[in-house]
């Protein structure tokens, strides 16, 4: 049982925290007990809304208490023992004079000033980006709701059933509309999804097959082609852009073909019958890939119906703002034969221990964290928050509502086509859904006239303009648009025609599942959203101590501007003078990230951490080619590295060679030196995470980097753990040449339940010329490589979150946040050390910002696995730490600086109590197979069992309320432990029908 002191602490924790206000006051300045008779007016300038004390959890008295527990009198002394002296930067490296802090009010004024420099016009540019109409019920209750945006990837499905169900809705929506068998839970954007599909074509070939040509139809969006060129480099694929229906007859292409990509509808708007082309592709044993539009697929024949093997695209027009390019959820669907080659997360239906249906991530052996250097994709973060928005959009509108929207868009497009044709202009595409390409005498003149009316068009070339309509378009928009074509006017009525060929009209049903036909009123959808939300544990409920994930506060002040029209409504390809605010903010963020990392230049284009890894390695590749060292292709990676590291190296065309680590967790410098010498003529790069994934600052990092540089190679420093560095050290000081940053970790962008993320790279001066460019907007260095993302600045709209976070903390606040993250982790290590083995510490007995605890002894003594501890922790109202990584028998715990002492103590008390429960099993007080840990978690469905059904050697109270605070405030898992094997053996990745539910459950 818990001690009386612990019990008292837990009872207090269940009530209001108002009693802590007095201790919190010290961070805002001393508050007098009564008003003074005289007050200096100068003191009234002192702001009360400074951000640092609002972001950092522990109050001053709690900080002193934690330091005392660890044996220190000051935070500075503690940091000196925790970090190696050789890598610490000077005290003036990151100060408020380097990055001036803004109060929350000042931040609001500044972001409004910046946003006001953007011009919000009507953009009908198209090219895979639309003016989405976001239903307010979704905007307010998902997009702006921390219960949805602060959760993590659903690796613990028992406390993530809500968003897993929503993602299953997303997958069902995609498979229904594309006519294919299996869809994943989203990818980063349409262009990178096309890149994944191209490499899938390669992976689908027999191992000894040498084919390497990938044919891209000339109707594919140019930003997609740009990313395909980049992705092809590492795999030796030859990308050929041509009219696919003609080029397929060229033996030089057909004899070497791995796949074909078409756009459907094409970028010029045409709806083309690709069935004959598909037959030819299949006859050559290659794959047919279709980049498509979900709204169009409500009216035109599904790709699966004419033979496509893979369908992909952006789901953004289903209620996700343009956001100057993102973030947006790409969709990706395949035929059943390709499901085990498909990249990304996949949600499947399984069952829990009571036989009830339950959702979980399926077929995880496909993913990079399992396959490592055998992977052909490094995809990790997806776009879960945006996928959930798109799924809810489909649920809200249903099949009839979506078709009505599509018909309205198509009718407006037809009206515009009739208007411009009546004025003598030629619409070059006779078939269309929402896009027209119009031949004009001067594209510049027409675009200038449209601009006078507040409308942006797409310049195709000097004599053609493109126009793409969407749900937001109204008749008055079309009237204004038509008048730019010599005063054309919209006809009074629309004459029927075959803008969609009758043979290509969709006749097959879609979205027939009850979920898409039950929530069409706002009341109904609101209740459905909150029904799902109640099943998911997020930061609104408790600390999420996932190691290497940095689940810190996502400050409301940084989130609020995200949905302003000035930031959310810009098309990524608008003229630069319409995005001056974005460019100012982007430049400031790049400068701040360079100051933080110590590097010279930055690219914000990579839209995930894994994408940043890949981009960094490709920059190294380009640099080596530029100095005549292109033969260097070996990449050294420690065995402790995250699985994305070897996968990224493979994608960049490198050969992975592993480096050993010592028993104390440190890098084996002897092995590193031997391998650097062995491969000195072919060594390209060394990837290292710092602090290491084992949770310690290694003293030898600068020496390791020196070894690599002496061998003529470059150092890639993985920034996953940058939250332990900011203001204390930096990647450049450690010896790196390039690093990626996880803005969704260190810099407070929310994880969104599994995305979005942003993974910018910062580089040393010699690598700066090779930063990625873009086909439509000038970005990158003077010798820019081709793009790594669809949009020039990746997920641009959420860059405002990290920009604001950095600005509010300022230089000193950033450093304080790092110090407190280190302190919180070491306090946890100290409290748990008598009960669990802390695997790795430095010479002073300190860990970094996370704690690795070893659980192997419990398997030997009681048959208890890491998962048993994790599932039991759910009963205590906590999300488990990272499980079985970086070592299979360990848990990795990271509290971040945002958690206060009360929450940290609750977590420690829970872990200590579980240790006692494990001891009861070891000593025989509880049986090895029927105990609190093996049966965990205990949802209400278990606790409410009848006396006859309750067959457990412990009470319901012990199962549900093992510590006193849980009787006052408890998060309940919604299902019992889920059977992963059953789910993979009986794979079901769409919403199950009533008949399927009856048959399987």
Q: What is the DSSP string of 314-376?
A: E-TTTT---GGG----EEEEE-GGGGGG--S--EEEEEBTTS-EEEEE--GGGSHHHHGGG-S
Confidence at residue 990, expressed as pLDDT on a 0 to 100 scale: 80
On whether the CB atoms of residues 847 and 841 are closer than 8 A, the answer is yes
Percent of the chain predicted with pLDDT > 70: 94
| pTM, two decimal places | 0.95
Residue 1 has pLDDT above 50, yes or no: no
Integer CA distances (angstroms), 421 to 67, 418, 436, 470, 889, in order: 77, 5, 11, 20, 70
Residue 15 has pLDDT above 70, yes or no: no
Greatest CA separation for the chain: 94
Confidence at residue 18, expressed as pLDDT on a 0 to 100 scale: 37
pLDDT, mean of residues 568-584: 97
Residue 19 has pLDDT above 90, yes or no: no
pLDDT band of 772, cuts 50, 70, 90: very high
Confidence at residue 868, expressed as pLDDT on a 0 to 100 scale: 98
- Provide the token pair at 843: 């010479």
Of all helices (H) and strands (E), which one includes residue 740?
strand 738-741
pLDDT, mean of residues 168-183: 97
Of all helices (H) and strands (E), which one includes residue 6?
helix 4-14
On whether the CB atoms of residues 961 and 943 are closer than 8 A, the answer is no
Phi, psi of 297 (to 5 degrees): -70, -5
What is the dihedral angle through the alpha carbons of 86, 88, 91, 96, rounded to the nearest 10 degrees? 160
pLDDT band of 39, cuts 50, 70, 90: confident
pLDDT band of 998, cuts 50, 70, 90: low
Residue 5 has pLDDT above 60, yes or no: no
pLDDT, mean of residues 280-300: 98
pLDDT, mean of residues 544-549: 96
CB-based contacts of 268, cutoff 8 Å, min separation 6: 219, 428, 429, 435, 437, 460, 466
pLDDT digits (tens, 9 = 90+) for 348-389: 999 999 999 999 999 876 455 555 556 667 877 689 999 999
pLDDT band of 996, cuts 50, 70, 90: low
On whether the CB atoms of residues 561 and 567 are closer than 8 A, the answer is yes
What is the SS3 assignment for 984? helix
Q: H helices within 59-160, ranges in order?
A: 60-70, 75-82, 104-115, 136-138, 146-149
Which domains does the chain carry? 123-128+397-504 (3.90.1150.10), 580-808 (3.40.640.10)
Confidence at residue 989, expressed as pLDDT on a 0 to 100 scale: 84
Confidence at residue 494, expressed as pLDDT on a 0 to 100 scale: 82
The span from the CA of 550 to the CA of 381, in Å, is 14
Computed over every residue of the chain, the mean pLDDT equals 93
Confidence at residue 17, expressed as pLDDT on a 0 to 100 scale: 38
On whether the CB atoms of residues 661 and 638 are closer than 8 A, the answer is yes
Residue 656 has pLDDT above 60, yes or no: yes
Residue 22 has pLDDT above 50, yes or no: no
The mean-pLDDT minimum among 358-367, 668-677, 838-847 falls in 358-367
Q: Is the backbone peptide bond immediately before 937 cis, with ω within 30 degrees of 0?
A: yes
pLDDT digits (tens, 9 = 90+) for 706-723: 999 999 999 999 999 999
CB-based contacts of 490, cutoff 8 Å, min separation 6: 415, 416, 418, 419, 475, 478, 479, 482
pLDDT band of 988, cuts 50, 70, 90: confident
Tell which residue, 671, 812, 685, has the closest CA to residue 739.
Answer: 685
Confidence at residue 44, expressed as pLDDT on a 0 to 100 scale: 82
pLDDT, mean of residues 198-225: 95
pLDDT band of 202, cuts 50, 70, 90: very high
What is the SS3 assignment for 833? coil
Residue 207 has pLDDT above 50, yes or no: yes
The span from the CA of 128 to the CA of 163, in Å, is 26
pLDDT digits (tens, 9 = 90+) for 40-88: 887 788 889 999 999 999 999 999 999 999 999 999 999 999 999 999 9
pLDDT, mean of residues 907-933: 98
Residue 980 has pLDDT above 50, yes or no: yes
> Can you give the length of the chain in residues?
1001
Confidence at residue 377, expressed as pLDDT on a 0 to 100 scale: 77
Question: How far is C-alpha 691 from the geometric centre of its chain's CA atoms?
Answer: 22
Burial (Cβ within 10 Å: 0-12, 13-18, ≥19) of residue 658: middle
Confidence at residue 36, expressed as pLDDT on a 0 to 100 scale: 54
Percent of the chain predicted with pLDDT > 90: 88
The span from the CA of 712 to the CA of 707, in Å, is 9
pLDDT band of 21, cuts 50, 70, 90: very low
On whether the CB atoms of residues 606 and 788 are closer than 8 A, the answer is yes
């Amino acid at each position: 049982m818990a001690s009386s002191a612990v019990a008292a602490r837990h009872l207090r924790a269940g009530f209001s925290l108002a009693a802590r206000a007095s201790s919190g006051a010290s961070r805002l300045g001393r508050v007098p007990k009564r008003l003074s008779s005289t007050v200096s007016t100068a003191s009234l300038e002192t702001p009360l809304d400074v951000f640092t004390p609002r972001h950092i959890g522990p109050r001053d008295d709690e900080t002193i208490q934690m330091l005392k527990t660890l044996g220190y009198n000051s935070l500075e002394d503690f940091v000196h023992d925790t970090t190696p002296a050789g890598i610490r930067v000077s005290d003036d490296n990151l100060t408020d004079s380097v990055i001036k802090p803004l109060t929350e009010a000042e931040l609001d004024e500044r972001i409004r000033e910046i946003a006001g420099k953007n011009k919000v016009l009507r953009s009908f540019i198209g090219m895979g980006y639309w003016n989405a109409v976001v239903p307010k019920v979704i905007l307010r209750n998902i997009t702006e709701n921390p219960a949805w945006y602060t959760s993590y990837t659903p690796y613990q499905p028992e406390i993530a059933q809500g968003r897993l169900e929503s993602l299953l809705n997303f997958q069902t929506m995609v498979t229904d509309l594309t006519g294919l068998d299996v869809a994943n839970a989203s990818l980063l954007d349409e262009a990178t999804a096309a890149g994944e599909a191209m490499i899938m074509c390669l992976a689908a070939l027999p191992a000894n097959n040498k084919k390497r040509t990938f044919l891209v139809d000339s109707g594919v969006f140019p930003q997609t082609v740009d990313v395909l060129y980049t992705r092809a480099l590492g795999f030796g694929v030859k990308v050929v852009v041509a009219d696919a229906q003609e080029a397929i007859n060229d033996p030089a292409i057909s004899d070497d073909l791995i796949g074909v990509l078409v756009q459907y509808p094409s970028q010029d708007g045409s709806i083309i019958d690709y069935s004959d082309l598909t037959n030819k592709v299949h006859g050559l044993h290659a794959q047919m890939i279709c980049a498509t539009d979900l709204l169009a697929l409500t009216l035109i024949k599904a790709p699966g119906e004419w033979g496509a093997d893979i369908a992909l695209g952006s789901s953004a027009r289903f209620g996700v703002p343009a956001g100057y390019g993102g973030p947006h959820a790409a969709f990706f669907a395949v035929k059943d034969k390709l499901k085990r080659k498909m990249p990304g997360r996949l949600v499947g239906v399984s069952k829990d221990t009571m036989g009830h249906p339950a959702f979980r991530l399926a077929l995880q052996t496909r993913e990079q964290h399992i396959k490592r250097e055998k992977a052909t994709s490094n995809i990790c973060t997806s776009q879960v928050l945006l996928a959930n928005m798109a799924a809810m959009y489909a649920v809200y509108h249903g099949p009839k509502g979506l078709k009505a929207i599509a018909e309205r868009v198509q009718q407006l497009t037809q009206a515009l086509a009739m208007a411009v044709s009546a004025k003598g202009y030629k619409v070059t595409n006779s078939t269309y859904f929402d896009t027209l390409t119009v031949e004009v005498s001067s594209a510049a003149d027409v675009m200038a006239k449209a601009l006078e009316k507040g409308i942006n068009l797409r310049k195709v070339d000097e004599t053609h303009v493109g126009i793409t309509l969407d749900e937001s378009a109204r008749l008055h928009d079309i009237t204004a648009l038509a008048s730019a074509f010599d005063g054309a006017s919209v006809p009074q009525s629309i004459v029927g025609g075959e803008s969609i060929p009758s043979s290509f009209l969709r006749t097959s049903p879609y979205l027939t599942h009850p979920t898409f036909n039950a929530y069409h009123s706002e009341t109904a959808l609101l209740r459905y959203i909150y029904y799902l939300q109640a099943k998911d544990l997020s930061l609104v409920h408790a600390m999420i101590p996932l190691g290497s994930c940095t689940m810190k506060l996502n400050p409301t002040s940084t989130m609020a501007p995200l949905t302003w029209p000035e930031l959310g409504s810009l098309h990524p390809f608008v003229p630069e003078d319409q995005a001056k605010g974005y460019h100012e903010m982007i430049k400031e963020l790049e400068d701040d990230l360079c100051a933080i990392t110590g590097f010279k230049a930055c690219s914000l284009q990579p839209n995930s951490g894994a994408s940043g890894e890949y981009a960094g390695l490709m920059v190294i590749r380009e640099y080596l080619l530029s100095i005549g060292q292109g033969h260097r292709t070996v990449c050294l990676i420690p065995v402790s590295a995250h699985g994305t590291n070897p996968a990224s190296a493979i994608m960049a065309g490198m050969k992975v060679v592993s480096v050993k680590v010592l028993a104390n967790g440190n890098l084996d410098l002897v092995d590193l030196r031997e391998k650097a010498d062995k491969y000195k003529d072919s060594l390209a790069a060394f990837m290292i995470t710092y602090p290491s994934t084992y949770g310690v600052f290694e003293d030898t990092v600068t020496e390791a980097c020196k070894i690599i540089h002496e061998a003529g190679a470059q150092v890639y420093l993985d920034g996953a753990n940058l939250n332990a560095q900011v203001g204390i050290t930096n990647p450049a000081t450690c010896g790196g040449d390039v690093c990626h940053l996880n803005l969704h970790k260190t810099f407070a962008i929310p994880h969104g339940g599994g995305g979005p993320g942003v993974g910018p790279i910062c580089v040393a001066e010699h690598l700066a010329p090779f930063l990625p460019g873009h086909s439509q907007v000038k970005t990158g260095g003077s010798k820019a490589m081709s793009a790594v993302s669809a949009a020039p600045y990746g997920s641009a709209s959420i860059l405002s979150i990290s920009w604001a976070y950095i600005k509010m903390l300022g230089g000193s606040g950033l450093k304080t946040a790092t110090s407190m993250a280190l302190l919180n982790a070491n306090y946890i290590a100290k409290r748990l050390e008598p009960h669990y083995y802390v695997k790795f510490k430095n010479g002073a007995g300190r860990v970094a910002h996370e704690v690795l605890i070893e659980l192997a002894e419990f398997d030997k003594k009681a048959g208890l696995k890491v998962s048993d501890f994790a599932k039991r922790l759910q009963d205590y109202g906590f999300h488990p730490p990272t499980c079985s990584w970086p070592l299979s028998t360990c848990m990795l715990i990271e509290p971040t600086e945002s958690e206060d002492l009360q929450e940290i103590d609750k977590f420690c008390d829970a872990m200590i109590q579980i240790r006692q429960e494990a001891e009861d099993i070891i000593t025989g007080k509880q049986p090895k197979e029927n105990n609190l840990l093996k049966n965990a978690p205990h949802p209400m469905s278990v606790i409410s069992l009848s006396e006859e059904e309750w067959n457990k050697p412990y009470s319901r109270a012990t199962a549900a309320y093992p510590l006193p605070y849980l009787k006052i405030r408890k998060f309940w898992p919604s299902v019992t432990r889920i059977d992963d094997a059953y789910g993979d053996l009986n794979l079901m990745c769409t919403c199950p029908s009533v008949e399927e539910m009856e048959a399987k459950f």
